[in-house]
Amino acid sequence: MLIRNADPKSDVHIDFVPMVDVLFNLLIFFLLATSMAQAEREMSIALPHAASSGPISMAMREIIINVHADGAAEVAGKAVPLEDLAAMIRSAAAGNPDQKVSVRGDRNAAYASIAAVLDTCKGAGIQQPYLETIPLQ
């Protein structure tokens, strides 16, 4: 004779191990994705100090242009001439009218180099390119 348990819910077993595995995989993915986005902000550019500088925030799909001390412009780790930079910004602005552009000029760079990059941004359709600085110590 087969005797059944009176409480059928007592046989239910929920295994949390797969859920924890998925959670850890998501955590690792987001940690890696964040560190890759931060790598461009950690390039060897010595930013000038300014009393009214704000916190550096990373907006979605923001174009970051680094201007080195010798005046060379760099986007995503690649040197870019001003003509190619204008075409790149123009195509990004066509796809997203609220495109954000940050210009990170080295404090030892000639202002003419930074002004040329800012002028290129304005000419390509970016109304307010952001010139990044760091707070005074």
The whole-angstrom separation of Cα 41 and Cα 10 is 55
**Which sign does the torsion angle of CA 74, 80, 86, 92 carry?**
negative
- Burial of 117 from C-beta contacts in 10 A (0-12 / 13-18 / 19+): buried
CATH class of 44-135: alpha beta
Instruction: Encode pLDDT of 18-62 as tens digits.
Output: 999 999 999 999 888 776 655 566 567 777 777 766 554 434 578
Q: Where exactly are the structural domains of the chain?
A: 44-135
What angle is formed at CA 80 by the lines to CA 48 and CA 124, rounded to 5 degrees?
A: 85
DSSP string of 27-51?
Answer: HHHHHHHHHHHHHGGGSS--PPEET
Instruction: Encode pLDDT of 83-101 as tens digits.
Output: 888 888 888 888 887 888 8
Q: Which residue has the higher pLDDT, 124 or 137?
A: 124
Instruction: Encode pLDDT of 58-71 as tens digits.
Output: 345 788 899 988 88
